[in-house]
Structure 1
Amino acid sequence: MTKSFALLFQMKRTKALPNGNAPIYLRITIDSERVEIATKRNAPPDKWNTIAQKVMGNTDEAKSVNNHLKTVEQKAYEVYREMIERNIPITAQTFKDRMNGIEEEVVCRMLIPIFEDHNRQVEALIGKEYAPATAIRYQTTIKHVKNFLKWKYKVSDINIQDLDHEFVTSLEFYLRTVRHCNNNSAVKYIKNLKKIIHICVANNWLVRSPFINYKTKIKEVIRDFLSSDELDSISEKRFVSERLNQVRDVFLFSCYTGLAYADVNKLKRSEISTGIDSQKWIFTTRQKTETASRIPLLPVALDLLKKYEDYPACINEGKLLPVLSNQKMNAYLKEIADVCGIEKELTFHIARHTFATTVTLANGVSIESVSKMLGHKNIRTTQHYAKILDSTVSRDMDMLRGKMEAKKSAVLKKVTNQ
């Protein structure tokens, strides 16, 4: 990090000594911050040349003072160069201390303890500032970093002063090749490390971030969703296994409400209330982002809630629906997809995508309303769903065709009547 650095010798005429001489100080300016250092030399005020910053005359005394000032100036430039080379944080005060022989003990800060301390803080703030999944992602990231250090450098930790651009690019290469991470996963792990580096820079433990000039980009993912026919196929299917019927019902509830697995799992009766239209709504908060989500309940969702209203397992566990673990839900959904002849990899999160596309946007619900119901913080997140709807494009183009045909007919009619 480049810092402005300037030296100036000046005489303190207001601090005159008994013999009439005045002391000479070295003023140091670093990034507009100033300090002064006594040179332990003095001279007659009328002999001091402010512009040349030296004592005028050829006397032995004048030569001695000027030689000393040159030595002090040379030492100042050497100290500045040394601090840059050793990556020691440079401020006016730290520079003054080193000039005066006061050297702050250089603490050897290692990457892994800093990362672990950050992760402990994240875990302590689960439910307040962070979701459990966020803490898991940081734990996964530090695991990858530890394995990378052993793979690349044959060490278990590294001094943060040794982190550079090559370290970051090598980590990215490791994630993509050795760990076989896709682009977005690799980028997210790198971004998690970048946060740790920002902490180091903010605390002045690092002068320069190794992420300077490093660029990467998240690739847009095409999200799978169920078509109207596929949704009907699952809805109308009756399974021999009662467990499959229950999993299907919970999945359909998400398809018609847009709730993610974690939000369906924690949904309580108290979160179902009457909205401004006198209809039943869900009033909840997304676990992932802690944003409010207000969702009017469609008839299908209401019927599903009514179906399990007196279900013993739901009553005993205080749930609205018999929700299994996410892993078990996804395992059963694969079986449901096979039975229904759906070739897509059916996971619970597809239900949320289906609500955003097939159930709402494809039926003319505004993207602003869909974004609000999904609990998105940014409407751009919702716009990803709108991009993949061929039916929306088709409908818009049909409207354009109609307008163009009407215009063409009007022109022909006008020509005919002439």
Structure 2
Amino acid sequence: MSKAKFILKEPNAKVETLIYLIYNYQYKRFKYSTGETINPKFWNKTAQRVKASKQFKEYPEFNSRLDKIENGINNAFRTLLNDGIQPNNTLLKEVLENELSDNLLKPKQVTLFEFIESYIEESKLNKTIGTIKVYKTTFKYLKEYAKKYKPINYENITLEFYNHYLGFLKSTHNLSSNTVGKHIKTIKSFMNEATERGHNKNLEFRNKKFKTIREEADTVYLSIDELEKIEELDLKASPRLERVRDLFLIGCYTGLRFSDFTQINPENIVSDNTVIQIRTQKTGQRVSIPLHRTVRTILKKHKNRLPKSYTNQTMNDYLKEVVSLAGIKELIETTITKGGKIEKKILPKHKLVSTHTARRSFATNLYLAEVPSISIMKITGHKTERSFLQYIRVTQKENADKLLTHPFFN
């Protein structure tokens, strides 16, 4: 028996989320974006309609639109059967949209720029500040490109646009390859979301040639010996540097991101002060991390309540001072593709250290200590071993030293 129902894309969201029509027929499942959005607090899951509420006065009209969509899919299914045509998802979608068109129920045509603008506002409630900043910058570049060359809407996001836009970002803004890749990835995210909500039908952005470019960054990690040098520094004369050092070491021995290791509080210390348990801000994952000796020492020093952090940028500036005082000044050659040209620099190691070096150091040091990759990934959140191995920083010599202990070489 065929049956229609409506479900929310994200039923636990705190902001408006998309409503899907689900139609089960002949042991098949048809899923269709209604183009309608609603805050879950106004949704009656049992009735699959909007609740009667003074806060949402337009609920009768809203529910009427859902009724027409439900009638539309039922009519579409019957029409196909009556015409002797075996229903499938493609045909159902086509006939349904004809039904809705006759009822003037086509979703309001929202332009790509209108969608991005509203999506950024919506994301402020459930995305990190860093993500919102990337969204805004990507949107700024898109508007700049449209003003300089031609208007942009969904149908313009093609391979031709992709190739031209890469050149625009590299030449006009002199961006590195990884930054360009980040903005392409964001455009694909915008297009995916717009497609999910029924605004876009152009899927050329999913072509494998419409790819997110990336080059391996010259990032560094700090070895256990180097971390011990940092820990042994006497920084009592400089409280700002002592605070930064302590917070950074917490990151180095927990693998947490800056946004997480700066938010640890007494409630996160569990199992008789042997484990940190925290839900990460970026992914929402709950992770459990054994307390390293250094972490226990620092937590005891601050009575399990870490000092307030500086901003990430300020932390990075002060951190370079701390690492320099520890005598970590090895010269490192770096290369970066910027504006389409390869730039090489030789910099002392301490200038390449940032708060994110803590997380990379954690992963690399555990890997070199023969901790199984899968155990490390449980903490870092990497989904595949391939992505994890790209993340850690192990030199050819360190890899050879690690293999020396393997039975194959003995």
Cα displacement (A) at 1:184: 2.4
CA distance change for structure 1 residues 106 and 402 in 2, over 3 Å: closer, same or farther? closer
- Within a 5 Å distance, the mapping from 1:323-338 to structure 2 comes to 323-338=309-324
Cα displacement (A) at 1:201: 4.1
- Within a 5 Å distance, the mapping from 1:64-83 to structure 2 comes to none
CA distance in 1, matches of 2:354, 2:138: 24
* Residues 258-289 of structure 1: CA deviation (Å, up to 9, x unaligned): 22211122111011011xxx661101111111
Instruction: Provide the residue aligned with 1:91 in structure 2.
Output: 94
Instruction: Provide the residue aligned with 2:112 in structure 1.
Output: 111
Residues 183 and 219 of structure 1 are in contact (CA less than 8 Å); yes or no, is this contact kept in structure 2?
yes
Where in structure 1 are there 5+ consecutive unaligned residues? 1-29, 38-89, 311-318, 404-418
Counterpart AA for 2:122: Q
Residues 360 and 393 of structure 2 are in contact (CA less than 8 Å); yes or no, is this contact kept in structure 1?
no
Residues 280 and 286 of structure 2 are in contact (CA less than 8 Å); yes or no, is this contact kept in structure 1?
yes
CA distance change for structure 1 residues 168 and 92 in 2, over 3 Å: closer, same or farther? same
- Within a 5 Å distance, the mapping from 1:77-156 to structure 2 comes to 91-92=94-95, 109-124=110-125, 126=126, 130-153=127-150
Residues 368 and 402 of structure 2 are in contact (CA less than 8 Å); yes or no, is this contact kept in structure 1?
no
TM-score (normalised: structure 2): 0.63
CA distance in 2, matches of 1:273, 1:213: 46
Task: Describe the SS at the equivalent of 2:363.
Answer: helix
Instruction: Provide the residue aligned with 2:166 in structure 1.
Output: 172
- Within a 5 Å distance, the mapping from 1:315-330 to structure 2 comes to 319-330=305-316
CA distance change for structure 1 residues 209 and 300 in 2, over 3 Å: closer, same or farther? same
**How well do the aligned residues superpose, as a CA RMSD in angstroms?**
3.5
Aligned: 1:259 with 2:275: no
Cα displacement (A) at 1:296: 0.8
Q: Report the more deviating stretch, 200-209 or 179-188.
A: 200-209
CA distance change for structure 1 residues 165 and 104 in 2, over 3 Å: closer, same or farther? farther
Cα displacement (A) at 1:227: 2.2
* Residues 18-47 of structure 1: CA deviation (Å, up to 9, x unaligned): xxxxxxxxxxxx9xx85999xxxxxxxxxx
Instruction: Provide the residue aligned with 2:210 in structure 1.
Output: 215
CA distance change for structure 1 residues 243 and 149 in 2, over 3 Å: closer, same or farther? same
State the number of aligned residues: 301
Match of 2:367 among 361, 372, 388: 361
Instruction: Provide the residue aligned with 2:398 in structure 1.
Output: 391
Task: Describe the SS at the equivalent of 1:284.
Answer: strand
Instruction: Provide the residue aligned with 1:224 in structure 2.
Output: 220
Where in structure 2 are there 5+ consecutive unaligned residues? 1-75, 84-92, 329-347
Task: Describe the SS at the equivalent of 1:295.
Answer: strand
Task: Describe the SS at the equivalent of 2:178.
Answer: helix
CA distance in 2, matches of 1:188, 1:324: 26
Cα displacement (A) at 1:205: 4.4
Residues 250 and 322 of structure 1 are in contact (CA less than 8 Å); yes or no, is this contact kept in structure 2?
no
In our comparison, the structure showing a higher alpha carbon Rg is 1
Residues 260 and 349 of structure 1 are in contact (CA less than 8 Å); yes or no, is this contact kept in structure 2?
yes
Percent identity reads 26
Task: Describe the SS at the equivalent of 1:149.
Answer: helix
Aligned: 1:194 with 2:188: yes
Counterpart AA for 2:353: L
CA distance in 2, matches of 1:160, 1:133: 25
Task: Describe the SS at the equivalent of 1:178.
Answer: helix
